[in-house]
Amino acid sequence: MFEVVATHRQAMERSVRMALGVVVERRKSTSRWQDWSWRPVSVILGAPPVGPEWRELVRGETWTQYHAANLPLELHRSETADYLLNLAQHPPRLYVVLRPAAGPGPHPYRPLLITASPAEAEGYLSSGDEIVEGVPMPTAVIAWLRDFVDRHHVERPFVKRKRDKAAGPRGGRAPSAGSPGGDNDG
């Protein structure tokens, strides 16, 4: 077993980056409204450069996987609680976001983001335009993420917010007896 010793510079860093390749799969759709479905399926550690044209990696009878882009996975000190939540999953995941491509082209989506934060990924789900998929996190990325969390995570105790006693259930003033909505049994 070895011990990782953080240097002063590492302890002060606010964020770190690692470049990863994004693998996108095009699969024949079973829907009568679309011919193909698209989704991220994995990442490539140490991926070679890729240009504007996606590089075909492997092809099956009804599907093709492409190395679509290289994007940075960026870790931030302020998101270590989210990373801990991710590391507690079995297996931990990286979340890849695909955004609809602007204008015509051979591919209807483009890789936008890779994140290790489930909360950040969830934020992209709300628009309904992007495709967000969790893909397996490579072992080397798990170790890198754990090291970052070990250096930067600070447990913050939960502090329950106290309500104003005069406030009603929605934060407004409680209705008085006899007024509409008040406690009037009469």
- Mean pLDDT across 112-129: 93
Residue 79 within any structural domain of the chain: yes
Summarize pLDDT for 48-75 with one digit per residue, the tens.
999 888 999 999 999 999 999 999 999 9
So what's the pLDDT on residue 181?
54
- Helical segments of the chain, H only: 8-12, 80-87, 118-125, 139-152
Residue 125 within any structural domain of the chain: yes
Flag the least confident range among 7-16, 67-76, 111-120, 176-185.
Answer: 176-185
Residue 104 within any structural domain of the chain: yes
Residue 37 within any structural domain of the chain: yes
Query: Residue 182 is encoded by which pair of tokens?
Result: 């008040």
- Mean pLDDT across 120-146: 94
So what's the pLDDT on residue 171?
59
Flag the least confident range among 97-106, 117-126, 143-152, 155-164.
Answer: 155-164
pLDDT category of residue 2 using cuts at 50, 70 and 90: very low
Number of domains in the chain: 1
Residue 176 within any structural domain of the chain: no
So what's the pLDDT on residue 155?
78
**Contact partners, residue 7, CB within 8 Å, separation at least 6:** none
Using the 8-state DSSP alphabet, how is residue 127 labeled? T
Summarize pLDDT for 69-105 with one digit per residue, the tens.
999 999 999 999 999 999 999 999 999 999 999 877 7
- Give the range of the structural domain holding residue 127, as residue numbers without chain letter: 16-152
Residue 103 within any structural domain of the chain: yes
* Average pLDDT score over the chain: 85
What is the rounded distance in angstroms from the CA atom of residue 45 to the CA atom of residue 70? 10
pLDDT category of residue 42 using cuts at 50, 70 and 90: very high
Residue 123 within any structural domain of the chain: yes
Residue 179 within any structural domain of the chain: no
Query: Residue 61 is encoded by which pair of tokens?
Result: 């009878």
Q: Is the CB of residue 40 less than 8 Å from the CB of residue 98?
A: yes
pLDDT category of residue 174 using cuts at 50, 70 and 90: low
